[in-house]
Amino acid sequence: METKQFKAESKRLLDMMIHSIYTHKEIFLRELISNASDAIDKLYFKSLTDDQVGLSKDDFAIWIAADKDSRTIKITDNGIGMTEEELENNLGTIANSGSFKFKNENKLEEDNQIIGQFGVGFYSAFMIAKKVTVITKAYGSDKAYKWESEGVDGYTITEADKQSVGTEIILELLDDTDDENYSEFLDQYRIKGLVKKYSDYIRFPVKMEVTHSKPKEQSEEDKAAGKAPEYEDFIEIETLNSMVPLWKKSKSELTEDDYKHFYVEKFIDYNEPLKYAHVKNEGMPEYNALLYIPSKAPFDFYTREYEKGLQLYSNGVLIMDKCPDLLPDYFSFVKGLVDSEDLSLNISREMLQHDRQLKVIAKSIEKTISSELKKLLKNEREKYEQFWKAFGLQLKYGIYSDYGMHKDKLVDLLMFTSSKEHKLVTLDEYVSAMPESQKYIYYATGESVERIEQLPQTELVKDNGFEILYLTDNVDEFAIRTLMNYKEKEFKSVSADDLGLDTPEKKEELKAKEEESSDMLKTLADALDGKVAKVTLSQRLKSHPVCLTSEGEISLEMEKVLNSMPNDQKIHAQRVLELNPDHEIFGKLKSLSDAGDSDKLGKYAKLLYDQALLIEGMSIEDPVEFSNLICELM
């Protein structure tokens, strides 16, 4: 018997399979079932026009049988089978199958990724088998053939004895090692699990004889004596796959519960989803999708470990568990799947990234998510707010990321806590409620709503009856600055130089006062020795004597955020110490200044500056000095 050599690329693929990492090995079953299903598809198609086939739809099936004694798994189909020539061409070389394109040199890492995610076909059998035997009889042929191989050494083809049309694949499992337990693939529960996991939606039944045990019939005596019954085994033929994927069913067939149960089971989340969408796109590319918005953020959502992505199916066969290219980062919280007949099963990672169909699908999915979120906001406010609390941060990152490229798509989904009743409002709601006299969208930043409420800078704006957006997440101010304005209204920090609230007369008045006190202000600034860019009089303060603001691009809050990141250079906001000219303390300062007591004035400057820092929620440089100064001046 002549042993034939595999073609060069096939050899490489085989080598790759044999050295694949263990966690990927289980996909062999998916690959073989998928091949069997394709073969049945072909014969079924023939049977529609050719009576000679002699089989009707219900006769077609794939059988799995595992035998622990001989350590073999057998996968049988009654599909179209292969002629001798087809055996040679299909299993002797992978050139025909188109299943694999060699892009990079044999890099194990990358290879393993490919094995894990994509259809790698028949050869995956060698990941778990030391010997593979294929016995097949083609439709219309009166001869059957046997193909045998033990891997890289080559294969043989001989005539065989087989009555019915179809293919039988026998895998003789590799021996177990310390690290790898191949025997588990002989376990009926493991097999059932694998079929459920990867091949649940194969259109033809995948059947197996499953052994169950049941209690034996007991005698009345034993029953009366309360004896535990003996058990006996019995065999039942089970269909392991459900055959029709939920997403392929018509929407009218499905209940809300169906969708929710499916989610909970499939995406392993104890909480029901907040919202789902079932998309059936009939156009090009044709696809079905199920999209879910979880009600809670997974524990690792805001970490690097979190992987975004949707399951990707090609006509019911899972080809990738988390296809990241289907979701933009700002919608990374969405769970679900996409199934398209227009995608090839055997498509490699790199090819997928550049796949035009996939890009079109991704675009359309993004649109769906966006419109579903808008619907939720409009019709189910409470749920939207729940969503916002779980994933709002991600949308705000989205506004800020890629230089604001996506801001227009996301801006109407944003929410912030408002100074009015501390409710969440959208920017649209904020702007719609603005009185005529209000020019800006005001915001204040701080680590919590309670903290912001106490900021002296908010007093004047509130006194004018204007609403303030409270920004409490680090990313908030960066997002707001990226937006710059909303519906032609500019965003304005309550700490900004000019809040646009003063009349020209008032401004003049303040200017005059400032000129009058310019010596004093200079003495105060000098005493602070470069800690502030200047000391000014403030129009925004009412009950508080001082506050700290900033001029220029960087706000105090941004300074905090930027300096909390791991970078070498510390960034400083240009600080401005503002004094309340109507406060008692101001009179005190004035009299010290008039008396020429610049030493004491300097001490007041330091105290007031530290006070302002504390109100801002920032730490003071020298708490001991602060405490000593208080005692001294008391």
Query: Would you tell me which residues interact with ligand ADP (CB under 6 A)?
Result: 35-36, 39, 77, 79-82, 90-91, 94, 97, 99, 121-122, 167, 346
Q: Residue 418 half-sphere exposure, CB side, CA atoms within 13 Å?
A: 19
167 vs 549 by CB, closer to ligand ADP: 167
| Min CB(94)–ligand ADP separation in Å | 6
Least distance in angstroms from the C-beta of 57 to ligand ADP: 18
Q: Name the residue whose CB lies closest to ligand ADP.
A: 121
Of the pair 79, 309, the CB lying nearest ligand ADP is at 79
**Strand 424-425 and strand 489-493: pairing?**
unpaired
Smallest gap from Cβ 338 to ligand ADP, in A, equals 20
Please list the residues that pair with 335 across neighbouring strands.
292
Whole-number minimum distance, CB 185 to ligand ADP, in Å? 18
Contact yes or no for 185/165 (Cβ under 8 A): no
At position 43, the amino acid (one-letter code) is L
Please give the Cα distance from 626 to 630 (Å, whole number).
Answer: 6
Residue 444 near residue 467, CB atoms below 8 Å: no
Helices (DSSP H) in 107-207: which residue ranges?
108-117, 188-199
Give the nearer residue to ligand ADP in terms of CB position, either 35 or 517. Answer: 35
For residue 79, the SS3 value is coil
| Residue 167 C-beta: closest distance to ligand ADP, Å | 4
- For residues 53-68, b (16+ Cβ closer than 10 Å) or e, as one string? bebeeeebbbbbebee
Shortest Cβ 118–ligand ADP spacing (Å):
10
Nearest approach in angstroms of CB 204 to ligand ADP is 12
144-149 and 129-137 strand pairing: antiparallel
The residue among 79 and 328 lying less far from ligand ADP, judged by its C-beta, is: 79
Pick 82 or 173: Cβ nearer ligand ADP: 82
Nearest in space to 532 (alpha carbons), one of 460, 472, 616, 468: 616
| CB nearer to ligand ADP: pick between 348 and 611 | 348
Nearer to ligand ADP, 81 or 398 (CB): 81
What tokens were used for 115?
């094995």
Indicate the residue among 90 and 493 with the shorter CB distance to ligand ADP: 90
Listed as own residue / partner, the contacts of 424-432 with beta carbons closer than 8 Å and 24 or more positions apart are 424/385, 424/388, 425/467, 425/469, 426/377, 427/486, 427/487, 428/487, 430/467, 430/469, 431/486, 431/487, 431/489
In the complex, least distance from residue 336 CB atom to ligand ADP, rounded to whole angstroms: 26
Report phi then psi at 579, rounded to 5.
Answer: -110, 145
Q: Which is nearer to ligand ADP, 39 or 613 (CB)?
A: 39
Least Å distance between CB 13 and ligand ADP? 9
Give the span between the Cα atoms of 64 and 420, in whole angstroms.
66
